[in-house]
Chain A
Amino acid sequence: MRAKGLGWAPYVLLIPSLVYMAFFFAAPMLQSFGLAFQDRAGDWSTVSVTRMLNDAQFQRALLTTLTLLVLVIPIQFVLAMSMALIINARLKGSGLWLYVFALPLGVSELAAGIIWYSIFTERGWLNSVLTGLGILERPYIFLNPQEPFWLILAVVLAEAWRATAIVMIILVAGLQSIPRDYLEAADVFGATTWQKIRRVILPLLRPSLQTALILRTILAFQVFATVIAIAGRGLNVLAAEAYRWYGDLRDIHVAASYAGLILLLSVMATILYLWLLPTREEQLA
């Protein structure tokens, strides 16, 4: 529906952004997809994709990435929701809470991994506290590649610590756009806090939830530096495999296949979320 009187101006103004995105995002992305479907000689073939799928590490990497995703996202959402509600309640000093919760956002993935490594390592913080309190007789080796449970737990904690703020900020913005009248009306009807959350807030928060879920899932498929910092070679994820195929094994085509796989999984997850969590505009339209 063309806005009256504006003519072609809006579309013309969009052209610079479109050109920029075409050159710097769309073209490299298409090129990278192309690389995935070439062999080392540059001819079109699926040998690189097959090589990726048959690689001994592929299944491990895929499974680990999916496991981390399935564990991290629900934890982060519950945490982020609580944090967002605390901030939105406008208690005394809630401005301070926003800064405190958002602090880990300023820490890079790698630094977060190193911090949590130093907590879980044998002579690290956690072992020192536990042995000091007498709970453990001797330090326990959490970061043991033959016990993936603790390795995965350490990565989940590091990711939850680091990235929950991203989700929280989106939810805070969404919460603030819910008109207070609805919540007051709910109070008038005698709703408990839990009923308010379930019946008023969550449905109205759907657009933000959708956005936050999609964003967090896409970033979760790319998890890399945290895993390397905490587990070294003990855990394998898709992005790490892409890095090794390019950096060590010098096969840019298989690396591009991994990158393409990450993109494909991200798009599939996005479609899934759009289908599962339709927003009101989509429902009404």
Chain B
Amino acid sequence: MLNPTRLGSLRSLSVILVLALVAACGPAASSPSPGATSTAGPGSPTTGPTEGPGGEVIFLSTQLNPVTEAEALRTVILADYPGGFAAANFVPATAAEFTDRVISEAALGEGGGQVGVLGGLHGDFSSLAAAGHLMDLSDLADELSDRGFLGSYIELGRYETDQQLFIPWMQATYIMAARAEAMEYLPEGADQNALTWQQVTEWGSNIAAAGHGQRLGFPAGDMGLWHRFFQGFGLPAFTGRVNTAFNSPEAAAMWTWLRDTWQYVNPQSTTYDFMQEPLQSGEVWVAWDHVARLRDAFVNDAEGFVAMPAPAGPQGRAFMPVVAGLAIPKSAPDVEGAMSLIRYLTQPDIAAITLREVGFFPPFEAELPADLDAGRRNMADAVVALTGASDALPALLPVGLGDQGGAYNAVFRSTFESIVIGNEDIQAVLDREAANLQTVLDTAGAACWSPDPPSEGPCQVEQ
């Protein structure tokens, strides 16, 4: 009992207060963020903006954040940059931190910020482009026109203005990868370079029937890119659209297909972030993931794995081209230094090193380097087969979501968890999540993007 005398109750009160303060500082004792994620701090340890080329350029990027990729960038890709990684300080950031940082530096006016070069996905720049925080790089783009950037990527980098707001840096996409021993269980008559999603289910069922267990695998973990599956592959392949058709009968058909397929999928998929690990350990025999997250498997054992383009659904072979670009914020302190870093990163030989090290492809029309090893050649062939397929249906990464990007992805994750893991009624979940999706699109004010038909005002989810 808290006793009545003053000393005793004061003591107890002070104990409570101290322990409450301990609780407040408790999180400092445990690690706050799981996995290999970004650690965007205040950037460089050196002080203030630099003057003229030769000083340090701060390179803030949402791409190549995982530890191994960031290390490859710093130690290998930037190795030949004058000054090495002491001159180009790579700072990984999540999309939200990235946006926050640029917006807050923009308030400091021209030349007042610290960040020199921005690296991000086409969708990461859209709100910054709209707010006018990015420098016009048309002169730089003209100077670099001999690189042979893909015309559609240059177009994307204009964000429908006459200014060149980013220079294409890398591209990637998502493919299927399978262990060699899985190939004998392919369904009858299936062409590995032209699979359908139904055939993937059959494939999984054949493997299970042969007594090998649930060997399909998807990156449904916390840091996995599973939401991109719905945004760029599943939904467009079954409906031909993304947001507008979220609550359509075709979408319900996709979810039914996924729920039926899940019995052949390794249940540990909700812990998988990078499919290269379970593929190599044998827990998964057939996987879908980003090329950069499958790279290790192909590089370590080229003979043991097969790369295949993404399968097709009733509406076509939907896939999501991932375009990353380099931009310079108007608040950059050292524009010459920033431009020299962009020139360096877009050099063909450096692009080849980037492909070799982190698995992201160059954004050029040119032939891929002839000296690619067998594993990477495997992946490259699958990517080429995918982008060149006659029924290819590109579905862009979300555009114009600003800081609602995470909320947008969360809708798809939530729908998946409710329908497939939680086994809830599909239509009820779709109705509920369609409302959430509409709220996100309205809050962001995002218009529809390809393959949805263009819209006036925020994209509308059809009921």
20 contacts between A and B (CB under 8 A): A21-B21, A26-B21, A29-B24, A121-B283, A122-B283, A215-B22, A225-B31, A232-B221, A232-B270, A233-B222, A243-B33, A244-B410, A249-B406, A250-B96, A250-B406, A266-B23, A267-B23, A274-B12, A275-B1, A281-B11
Cα–Cα, bound, A271→B438 (Å): 44
Q: A110-B31, A248-B409, A275-B2 are in contact. Are A270 and B20 (CB under 8 A)?
A: yes
List chain A residues, Cβ under 8 A from B404.
Answer: 250
List chain A residues, Cβ under 8 A from B5.
Answer: 285
**Minimum CB–CB distance for A50 against chain B, Å:** 16
**Cβ contact within 8 Å between B34 and A248:** no
List chain B residues, Cβ under 8 A from A247.
Answer: 94, 96, 406
List chain A residues, Cβ under 8 A from B435.
Answer: none
Give residues in B with beta carbon < 8 Å to A.
Answer: 1-3, 5, 7-8, 11-12, 15-16, 19-27, 29-35, 94, 96, 213-214, 220-222, 266-268, 270-273, 281-283, 403-404, 406-407, 409-410, 413-414, 417-418, 421
Residue of A nearest to B416 (CB): A233
List chain A residues, Cβ under 8 A from B407.
Answer: 248-250
List chain B residues, Cβ under 8 A from A278.
Answer: 1, 3
A108 at the interface (CB under 8 A from B): yes
**Cβ contact within 8 Å between A267 and B16:** yes
**Cβ contact within 8 Å between A274 and B16:** yes
**Cβ contact within 8 Å between B16 and A282:** no
Residue of B nearest to A251 (CB): B407
**Cβ contact within 8 Å between A123 and B16:** no
Within 8 A of B (CB), among A244-285: 244, 247-250, 262-263, 266-267, 270-271, 274-275, 278, 281-283, 285
**Cβ contact within 8 Å between B32 and A224:** yes
Q: A122-B268, A232-B271, A248-B409 are in contact. Are A222 and B222 (CB under 8 A)?
A: no
A78 at the interface (CB under 8 A from B): no
Partner of B267, one of A139, A143, A224: A143
List chain A residues, Cβ under 8 A from B213.
Answer: 138-139
Q: A21-B21, A146-B267, A234-B270 are in contact. Are A228 and B16 (CB under 8 A)?
A: no
List chain A residues, Cβ under 8 A from B222.
Answer: 228, 232-233
Cα–Cα, bound, A247→B95 (Å): 10
Q: A214-B19, A229-B34 are in contact. Are A122 and B266 (CB under 8 A)?
A: yes
Cα–Cα, bound, A56→B422 (Å): 12
Partner of A243, one of B15, B21, B32: B32
Q: A144-B267, A282-B11 are in contact. Are A219 and B283 (CB under 8 A)?
A: no
Q: A224-B30, A225-B31 are in contact. Are A263 and B23 (CB under 8 A)?
A: yes
Cα–Cα, bound, A228→B34 (Å): 7
A106 at the interface (CB under 8 A from B): no
**Cβ contact within 8 Å between B270 and A233:** yes
List chain B residues, Cβ under 8 A from A285.
Answer: 3, 5, 7-8, 11
**Cβ contact within 8 Å between B268 and A282:** no
Q: A229-B34, A249-B410, A271-B16 are in contact. Are A219 and B29 (CB under 8 A)?
A: yes
Partner of B31, one of A109, A138, A262, A266: A109
List chain A residues, Cβ under 8 A from B21.
Answer: 21, 25-26, 29
* 13 more CB-based (< 8 A) A-B contacts, given A121-B271, A145-B267, A247-B406: A21-B21, A110-B34, A139-B213, A143-B267, A224-B30, A232-B220, A232-B270, A233-B271, A239-B27, A248-B409, A250-B404, A250-B406, A278-B1
Q: Which 3 A/B pairs are nearest by Cβ-Cβ distance?
A: A248-B406, A232-B271, A285-B8
Partner of A141, one of B16, B26, B268: B268
**Minimum CB–CB distance for A279 against chain B, Å:** 10
**Cβ contact within 8 Å between A141 and B267:** yes
Q: A224-B32, A247-B96 are in contact. Are A25 and B266 (CB under 8 A)?
A: no
**Cβ contact within 8 Å between A233 and B417:** yes
Cα–Cα, bound, A179→B243 (Å): 72
**Minimum CB–CB distance for A162 against chain B, Å:** 10
A218 at the interface (CB under 8 A from B): yes
